[in-house]
Structure 1
Amino acid sequence: MEKKFTNMRDIVSSYANAMNLLRPETEKLHQRVAYLAYNIASEMNISESDKKELLYASLLYDVGVGMMPDKQPGEERYYFKDLAATGLGIIGDVQILKPVCEIFKIVDPETPTDETIFDFDKYKDFAEIIDVADRVAFMLDPKDAALNQVEDICDTISDLAGEGVSSSVVEAFLRFADKEYVWMEVLHQPEIFLTYISDENSVTLDDAIGLARFMSRIIDFRSSYTAMHSSGVAATAVRLAEIMGMSEDECKMMMIAGYLHDIGKLKVPKAVLEKNDKLTDAEFNIVKEYAYYTHLLLKDLTGFEQIGRWASLHHEKLNGYGYPFRLKADDIPMGARIIAIADIFSAVAEIRSYRAGMSKEEVIKTLADYVDSGAMSGYIVEILINNYDSIYSIRDSEVRREGARYFASSVDVD
């Protein structure tokens, strides 16, 4: 049996905080939806193990929102049913999230409904509970007293009974809503939902790789400019680590660091990410902050102590002129040096919608220039150059695989 590496409580906490970066206008939305969904399920006497599945689904229900076209003022927002298909594209191959995927399939209007599937009725209830929790969370106004909002919210949810939501789910919500304290909690302390997840809910290293892979898609799939970047970085970094003699577990940790090295980039506006022209000083300052947000999101994750440093320090330079901590060579771990080189290699080699990838000769010159300036490790760059063709092939294969998933998940925009 594979040993425990981390736990789901830390993972979901970091995920919810990451989504707050992506959608600051709906801060704590995921915490509120999770809190509400779990407690509605409790009113329905749903088992503890089933409530855990529901809790994860309620956190992930809008995981595909970053791939959707931005809504214009006055347009109706996205609901769970609108986001299910893109969500499946992001988490569909993550084994530990298989129950969540079953809920998404029931919600997605494009997926044929098969009422013979295992636990169909249970997952249908879960989907309706998440829909109600999402609607309530969006109606809440943090600027107003919680109890001033209860009557209007309950009236709105009551009207859903028999109209896409079963009466049993609506009635369960209303029973829960009748307790005054819950409104203060959901508005001001929704993080309480974390207490519903035991830190004994173990996650193996292989599980963590799958979870990191789907989180990399939230980062990269926001834009066709970066859609396959993190997968290329991860593949490159792992191969370099293997050649350098790192252990099997260290190589798996390197893969996770590669997937998550840009997670703080969720804070960067899409318009800045997709700008073809040179960034202004103000825009570049926005970009420079993201490495620190990567540090914040990963620093408290049990088991991620090394991974967090490798991922968040990849913009540090050996000569001390990197960011955000201005570290010098002695303070930059080998893992971060590997990620830094894999990041540059992948960025300049990959094809983007606005430019072709560099040729082998151009890539090698670019890496050599970084070494000559004192920014990067000449030892690691030499290993990459000596194994260029095999590393490029591994990176290209992984990028093509992720590219196929991205384009299959993308939403057509007229």
Structure 2
Amino acid sequence: MTLRIDLKSAILALSDALDLVGVNDCQHGKRVAMIARETALLLGLPEQRLDRLVCACLLHDIGVSSTTVHRRLLREGDWDHRHAHCETGYRLLLPFAHLSQLAPAIRYHHTPWVDLPADLAEVDALDSNLILLADRVDARVLQRGLDNPLFKRAGISEDIAALAGRELSPAVAEAFMAAASREAFWIALVPRHVQQYLRDVPLTEWRLTIDFPQFRHVARLISSIVDAKSHFTAAHSLGVAQLARYLGECVGLAGDVLAKVEVAGLMHDVGKLCVPDEIVEKPALLTALEFSVMERHSFETYQILRHIPGLGELAEWAAFHHEALNGHGYPFHHGADRLSTEARIVAVADVFQALAQERPYRGAQPTEEIPRLLSDFVSKGVLDGELVALACDDLDRSWRAATPLPITRTCAGDDDGEPLAALRCSQSASTQ
């Protein structure tokens, strides 16, 4: 596989995915990065340290996929369970050579300054405290509303100053007060300025190119976050990826294309992070309004993936999984002439896996029923009949591919040439 991915682009895309969890509280990670960086500038940190801090801020909530948990974290600073997502984020990042250096700061970003472990490295202690500061500031900004942060800043600096000496390092609190004394600091927190701010940050130390097998590890990380959103979707993305790879093998796709189809399966539902928990787990049919919210997810997947240079084709394969050959799918209404074999494979794998897995409104379908149910989709002009036939030719093989054990960790040391079926990493309670 000759395709290489810019790590900075991958981190920003992952940040975009995490921003979706906030639903209406969008760009939380990006504002945290901006607030922390502006504070750190006044602490005199060098550019290399600033870059690392920004990346840690962008990914600080990587352990959160639940919209309910996200809301509580922003509204209840002393929530008893606030440390759980810190531990999850720490475990998720540890296996990755480049991202693992961010893991300690993320692990302790809800730990008060005076309670940080004595053996925590100085750089990690400072970064974790800067994230804590920025997290607290942004929570207060969101409570007041983002329409005019400058006008609504009253009281925020005083609240933060009161945390100095216990929650916050006195030096961090003092640097924030200096940064926040400028009107520009608050005006820049509105969405359009935050986007531009992050585009302008060079992240020089993170402009690394990683090869596609390494990016597959990142894709596995993303899929574990998405699938942890509900126990009903545990290992859904992994199952779609494995079945998509198997179907790709059946139609004779080349090895490089197989790897990309597998990654498309892993990332096809990344946009579902924007769907509130109460819709994902509703034990009944969705209302028209709720379904319109659900329909957003494949479009959001497309927007996230297409901005990673080199993944334009893969973005389509992943995001078109709810399109239909008859042109009546969503969100683009593409028809048979626009849907490639790879996109059709992901669509068939998605439906097969969903049928094989329990959902809040029904149980898992019996194996022997799946061919009939898939045939209905074929007769209605939704799915490719030849691919459905391949999936049903060896029904047990397809079933095993589509129903793997749920995993919430990725293994960066695995053989890049092995399919995902070979992976069985440690499980976490978040998917049970």
The TM-score, its normalising length taken from structure 1, stands at: 0.85
Whether 1:190 aligns to 2:194 is: yes
Question: Could you say which residue in structure 2 is the equivalent of 1:368?
Answer: 375
Question: Could you say which residue in structure 2 is the equivalent of 1:57?
Answer: 56
Mean Cα displacement is larger for which, 383-392 or 350-359? 350-359
CA shift for structure 1 position 40:
2.4
Question: Could you say which residue in structure 1 is the equivalent of 2:311?
Answer: 304
Question: Could you say which residue in structure 1 is the equivalent of 2:24?
Answer: 25
Question: Could you say which residue in structure 2 is the equivalent of 1:334?
Answer: 341
Question: Could you say which residue in structure 2 is the equivalent of 1:5?
Answer: 4
Tell me how far apart the structure 1 counterparts of residues 427 and 361 of structure 2 sit (CA, whole Å).
17
CA shift for structure 1 position 194:
2.9
| Ranges in structure 2 where 5+ consecutive residues have no aligned partner | 410-423
Judge conservation of contact 1:16–1:30 (CA < 8 Å) in 2: yes
Question: Could you say which residue in structure 1 is the equivalent of 2:128?
Answer: 127
CA shift for structure 1 position 363:
1.4
1:241 partner letter: G
Whether 1:229 aligns to 2:228 is: no
Mean Cα displacement is larger for which, 238-247 or 199-208? 199-208
Question: Could you say which residue in structure 2 is the equivalent of 1:98?
Answer: 100
Tell me how far apart the structure 2 counterparts of residues 72 and 164 of structure 1 sit (CA, whole Å).
19
Tell me how far apart the structure 2 counterparts of residues 400 and 63 of structure 1 sit (CA, whole Å).
16
Tell me how far apart the structure 2 counterparts of residues 57 and 143 of structure 1 sit (CA, whole Å).
23
Question: What percent identity do the matched residue pairs reach?
Answer: 28
Tell me how far apart the structure 2 counterparts of residues 298 and 309 of structure 1 sit (CA, whole Å).
9
1:206 to 1:174, Cα distance in 2 relative to 1, 3 A: farther
CA displacement, residues 261-285 of structure 1 (integer Å, 9 cap, x when unaligned): 1122223222222122222333333
Q: Secondary structure at the match of 1:301?
A: coil
Question: Could you say which residue in structure 1 is the equivalent of 2:137?
Answer: 136
Whether 1:291 aligns to 2:295 is: no
Tell me how far apart the structure 1 counterparts of residues 305 and 286 of structure 2 sit (CA, whole Å).
27
Tell me how far apart the structure 2 counterparts of residues 259 and 74 of structure 1 sit (CA, whole Å).
29
Judge conservation of contact 2:299–2:331 (CA < 8 Å) in 1: yes
Aligned ranges 1:149-188 → 2 under 5 Å = 149=152, 152-187=155-190
1:391 to 1:106, Cα distance in 2 relative to 1, 3 A: same
1:12 to 1:375, Cα distance in 2 relative to 1, 3 A: same
1:186 to 1:75, Cα distance in 2 relative to 1, 3 A: closer
Q: Secondary structure at the match of 1:325?
A: coil
CA shift for structure 1 position 348:
0.9
CA shift for structure 1 position 84:
0.5
Mean Cα displacement is larger for which, 137-146 or 66-75? 66-75
| Ranges in structure 1 where 5+ consecutive residues have no aligned partner | none
Judge conservation of contact 2:18–2:61 (CA < 8 Å) in 1: no
1:203 to 1:404, Cα distance in 2 relative to 1, 3 A: closer
Paired residues in the alignment total 406
1:142 to 1:352, Cα distance in 2 relative to 1, 3 A: closer
Tell me how far apart the structure 2 counterparts of residues 81 and 331 of structure 1 sit (CA, whole Å).
46
Tell me how far apart the structure 1 counterparts of residues 408 and 74 of structure 2 sit (CA, whole Å).
38
Aligned ranges 1:238-257 → 2 under 5 Å = 238-257=245-264
Judge conservation of contact 1:85–1:409 (CA < 8 Å) in 2: no
1:410 to 1:389, Cα distance in 2 relative to 1, 3 A: closer
Tell me how far apart the structure 2 counterparts of residues 193 and 290 of structure 1 sit (CA, whole Å).
24
Question: Could you say which residue in structure 1 is the equivalent of 2:420?
Answer: none
Tell me how far apart the structure 2 counterparts of residues 75 and 148 of structure 1 sit (CA, whole Å).
21
Q: Secondary structure at the match of 1:341?
A: helix
Tell me how far apart the structure 2 counterparts of residues 277 and 248 of structure 1 sit (CA, whole Å).
41
Tell me how far apart the structure 1 counterparts of residues 330 and 179 of structure 2 sit (CA, whole Å).
48
CA shift for structure 1 position 95:
4.1
